[in-house]
């Protein structure tokens, strides 16, 4: 967890082999690893769903799903894309995740944000991920769709996958998390197991704790200044609901 610019995406790019760390050790299943590319991470079972999802909007659901891992079928001496298998599988896999697609030929771009996240997540699980890294999967979603993504996280966890869920929303992290790490400006601000803190603590940490108190004091001081001296005060008073 962490505010904008805290280094969350940078950290997961290191975990997924996009960037190489300049210091520290990266241990996977107890062994030190050096990853030179996302392909190497994937081969070890570390699958990442990036903030931009890496889905192609104009392409159909099934093509997106199997992009880079197209199932093949032999027609005598000729090999071809097994489209029937792809369409059937996509429908089945998504149905298992509780998503009923009208038509596997539907372009991904016509689906909701939550459905797109679900496709990206189910693809990672289908291709045998052991670790699933999700970069702010709920950020652009409404309550109901975010709920759908949180369900996927819990199901993946129940299947034995390790899930690294990046978010800046403590209300999304708390119900699904076992371990919370808060980043700020590229550093670890806090590292807690679930039984070491409360939801309120997490909210406070994310809100910036001391920073929030300082902001409140600054605003109060501003409100105490004479009206004519500060033209903006009336707006500020309105915005914070003071009388």
Ligand X SMILES: Nc1ncnc2c1ncn2[C@@H]1O[C@H](COP(=O)(O)OP(=O)(O)OP(=O)(O)O)[C@@H](O)[C@H]1O
- Tell me whether residue 2 or residue 104 sits nearer to ligand X (CB atom): 2
Give me the least distance between CB of 21 and ligand X, in Å please.
13
Give me the least distance between CB of 2 and ligand X, in Å please.
5
Of Mg ion, ligand X, none, which one does residue 55 interact with (CB within 5 to 8 Å by kind)? none
Residue 1: DSSP 8-state: -
Segment contacting Mg ion by CB under 5 A, of 2-10, 32-40, 69-77, 154-162: 2-10
Give me the least distance between CB of 91 and Mg ion, in Å please.
32
Radius of gyration of the chain (CA): 22
Cα angle 135, 6, 137 (rounded to 5 degrees) comes to 15
Report the residue closest to Mg ion, judged by CB.
Answer: 9
- Tell me whether residue 9 or residue 169 sits nearer to Mg ion (CB atom): 9
Give me the least distance between CB of 182 and ligand X, in Å please.
11
Give me the least distance between CB of 37 and Mg ion, in Å please.
20
Segment contacting Mg ion by CB under 5 A, of 8-16, 87-95, 96-104, 232-240: 8-16
- Tell me whether residue 63 or residue 184 sits nearer to ligand X (CB atom): 184
Stated length of the chain? 243
Find the distance separating the first CA and the last CA of the chain, reported in whole Å. 35
- Tell me whether residue 12 or residue 42 sits nearer to ligand X (CB atom): 12
- Tell me whether residue 6 or residue 161 sits nearer to ligand X (CB atom): 6
Q: Pairing mode, if any, of strands 162-166 and 131-135?
A: parallel
Question: Which of 140, 146, 200 is closest to 174 using CA atoms?
Answer: 200
- Tokens of residue 185, six digits: 């400006």
Burial class (CB in 10 A: 0-12, 13-18, 19+), 139: middle
Give me the least distance between CB of 156 and ligand X, in Å please.
21
Of ligand X, Mg ion, none, which one does residue 142 interact with (CB within 5 to 8 Å by kind)? none
Taking CB under 5 A as the rule, does residue 9 contact Mg ion?
Answer: yes
Binding-residue total with Mg ion (CB under 5 A): 1
What values do phi and psi take at 81, rounded to 5?
-75, 125
Sign of torsion, CA 89 93 96 100?
negative
Of Mg ion, ligand X, none, which one does residue 157 interact with (CB within 5 to 8 Å by kind)? none
Binding-site ranges for ligand X (CB under 6 A): 2, 4-10, 168
Q: How far apart are CA 17 and CA 74, in angstroms?
A: 34
Q: How far apart are CA 42 and CA 113, in angstroms?
A: 24
């Amino acid at each position: 967890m962490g505010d904008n610019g805290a280094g969350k995406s940078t950290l997961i790019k290191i975990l997924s082999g996009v960037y190489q760390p300049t210091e520290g050790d990266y241990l996977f299943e107890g062994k030190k690893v050096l990853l030179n590319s996302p392909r190497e991470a994937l081969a070890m079972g570390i699958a990442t769903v990036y903030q931009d999802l890496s889905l192609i909007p104009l392409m159909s659901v099934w093509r997106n799903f199997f992009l880079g891992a197209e199932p093949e079928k032999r027609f005598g001496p000729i090999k071809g894309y097994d489209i029937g298998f792809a369409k059937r599988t996509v429908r089945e896999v998504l149905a298992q995740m509780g998503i009923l697609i009208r038509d596997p030929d539907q372009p991904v771009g016509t689906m909701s944000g939550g459905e797109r996240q679900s496709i990206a997540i189910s693809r990672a699980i289908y291709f045998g991920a052991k670790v699933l890294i999700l970069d702010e999967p709920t950020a652009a979603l409404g309550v109901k769709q975010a709920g759908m993504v949180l369900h996927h996280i819990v199901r993946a966890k129940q299947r034995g996958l390790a899930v690294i869920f990046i978010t800046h929303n403590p209300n999304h992290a708390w119900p699904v998390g076992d371990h919370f790490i808060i980043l700020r400006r590229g550093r670890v601000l806090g590292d807690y197991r679930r039984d070491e803190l409360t939801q309120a603590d997490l909210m406070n940490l994310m809100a910036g704790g001391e920073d929030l108190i300082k902001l409140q004091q600054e605003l109060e001081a501003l409100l105490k200044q004479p009206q004519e001296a500060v033209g903006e005060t009336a707006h500020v008073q309105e915005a914070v609901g003071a009388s």
